[in-house]
Structure 1
């Protein structure tokens, strides 16, 4: 972005005029709404090295129905929807936005599915409900099948890069905890056998 928006924070949550109805459109009705609730992220606010002097980096996330709820041709609809989001941001929060953009990438549910192997193109894996959040997400070790482990955005602790990295660390810890005694015995046995 060839300009700065000093009134914005690192994390900006922008609620639209009908937040609850928008959630129903997304999760129950499978409808692409005309209004938005957005997450606007400005990482260069905390790390100025992410953009040249006098510039900023942003990304905006707009929740939309996953591919199982709404089958759209995202190659066509993605750019249209992005333009509507940018026009909204420019009108209400970021004057001159579209003229200041240096580069942009549109990432749709289809991209989440194809590039990230996200089931039905869902950015956050499971639905964002209380009983599928934090501790209530799928745990990293299956309680019924010995040796079956889970890792990723749909497991505890959650989605996003920090969530997935923490999920991987937790799962690796469980695997080591479960198999460490056997590995120690195997190393001891192999070590003794190699010196015989």
Structure 2
């Protein structure tokens, strides 16, 4: 039986991923899809031309759990997932957006897409590891719905002008809404 309280997103907290993460103070770069047929991030497609970074709570600010991802190369850094939905049914997409506490202040924005709907989630980073929850409702148009996330722009660290950084996303959920 279909329950409205079950998260339709697989690995929405980005807890499943490369084991090397526990020993990396820089995070782990996850290669884009065209370089690796099988995603190193179960449930997710890295659909960009640049890598995304898997970060851990030991070395970075992570909204919840042990890990999250950082979209560090603007529109060239994106992730997606295809979930099962019921056509014409309404759903609620929720996720955390923040910064990794990696000395990267400035304006950030994550754009989220689900079915025909778009959410532009701005975030003003102070580089101190803060985050907030954002959400949007969408109506499924088919039995499968593609969720996509990318950053509109990125920054470099204050103390290192060559290291890219961007918004962190975590706690991705899609729940069915009551009709």
Superposition TM-score tier, normalisation by shorter sequence:
under 0.3
| TM-score where L is the length of structure 2 | 0.27
Tell me which protein shows more strand as a share of its residues: 2
Greater relative CO (CA pairs within 8 A, separation 6+): 2
Task: Name which one, 1 or 2, has greater alpha-carbon Rg.
Answer: 1
